Amino acid sequence: MLSRLIPIFAFALTACTAQAEDGVDAVPVATGLEHPWSLAFLPEGGMLVTERAGRLRLVDPEGELADTPVANVPEVFAGDQAGLFDVVLHPDFADNRLVYLGHAAGSRGANATAITRARLSADNTTLEDVERIFTVDPLKSGRHHFGGRMAFTPDGFLLLTVGEGFSRRDEAQDPASQLGSVLRLDDEGNPAPGNPFAETGDAAIWTIGHRNPQGLTVHPETGEIWLNEHGPAGGDEVNRLSPGGNYGWPERSNGNRYSGGQIPDHEDGDGFTGPDWFWTPSIAPSGMAFHSGQTFPDWAGDLFVGGLASQDLRRLDLEDGRLVGETVLLEDLGARIRDVREGPDGYLYILTDEAEGGLYRLEPEAAN
C-alpha cells in the first residue's frame, strides 16, 4: 500500500520527512462495530472491544463478534466525544477477572471522566460486582476533551488521562484541579502513594499541562510511560512522562488557537517539558503501542500511533531512546484509526472509528 510523502517536524524544530512505505496488509478480523474506541486481549483468547455509545463487545478467538453485548455495562454519558472509552484488564486478571472501563459520566451540564471496575463472568458475557471507583474532580460542562485512556504501570498502579474540558484550559496548569492531567491511582481508585503533588495540590495527579490526551502506552522494556495528545490548530504531541512533569498546555504549544491567536512554541529552557515529537498540521493522534518485532522485525521497538484526522497509521522510529523519523502507513484504508495494540500473538491490531467500524490485524503484505 503506497503512502504519500508529508512534512513533519520533531521537537527542537528539527525538520524530518515522513517516508512512504509499503508492506502492510490490514486483514479484517471483526466488522460491524459502532465507533469502537479500545480493545483488550483476554488471556484465554479473544478480546473485549468498547463502542463509544456505551457497549462492551466480545470478539471470540476465531474473530466472531458476539451478537449480544456484554451485560451490565454502566450507563455512560454519550454524545460527540463523550461515551465509553478505554478498557483494560487488571494485571492479575487471570485470577481475579477484574476489568476497568474509562467513560464519561453525568450530563451535558455537569460531567466528568470516570472509571468503573467490574468482574467479568467466566463465560465472558456479563459484568458482575460493578462499581464506579473514581470520578474526576471537578465536574465540567460540554462534550469534549475527556481523555479517558488508561494503563497499568509495571509496579501495578493505574494511570488515567484527563482532558481539560476544552472550555477550562487554564486548569491544566493548576495542580489542585484534575482537569488537563494524568492521574496515578491504586487498583481501587485511590490516589497512589508517592504522587508528586500530594503536598501541594491534588493527591491523585502525576503530571499536568495536558490538553486532550488520547494515547497512552508503557514501553515493554524500560517501563517508560508514553502519551500523545491533541494540540489546538497544530501541535499534536508525543510525550514521555516523568512524575511531576508540566507539559505546557495552555502556556506552550507548537500549534495556535483556532481563532488564529498565537501560543508560544515549546523551547528549551522555558520551564516546561517539551514533546518528543509533534505534528503541525494536526493528525489527531489516538491509541498507540510499541511493536516487539515478532511480525515486522525491522520495526522492533518502534512506536505506532493511530491518526483520526489524517486517517492513517504513523510509525515513529525509536533509536537509542529517541524518536528520529516517521513513516505513514495504511493511508489506502481511508479510515480514522482510533486504537492500536499489540496482541499476545505479536501482531498489531487497529480499530477504525466509524459507524460501521472494524477490527483489523496487520500482516506483512502478501506477495503478488
Enzyme catalytic residues: 145
* CB atoms closer than 10 angstroms to residue 347: 19
HEC states along 259-300? CCCCCCCCCCCCCCCCCCEEECCCCCEEEEEECCCCCCHHHC
Q: Is the CB of residue 289 less than 8 Å from the CB of residue 350?
A: no
Grid cell 510523502 in the structure block, residue: 5
- The SS3 of residue 170 is helix
Q: Tell me which DSSP letter residue 140 carries.
A: B
Reading the block at residue 11, the C-alpha cell is 521537537
Query: What is the bridge-based pairing of β-strands 55-59 and 47-51?
Result: antiparallel
Give the CA distances from residue 186 to residues 114, 189, 204, 244, 338, in Å, rounded to whole numbers and listed in that order. Answer: 14, 5, 10, 17, 27
Reading the block at residue 98, the C-alpha cell is 477484574
Angstrom distance (rounded) from CA 56 to CA 254:
36
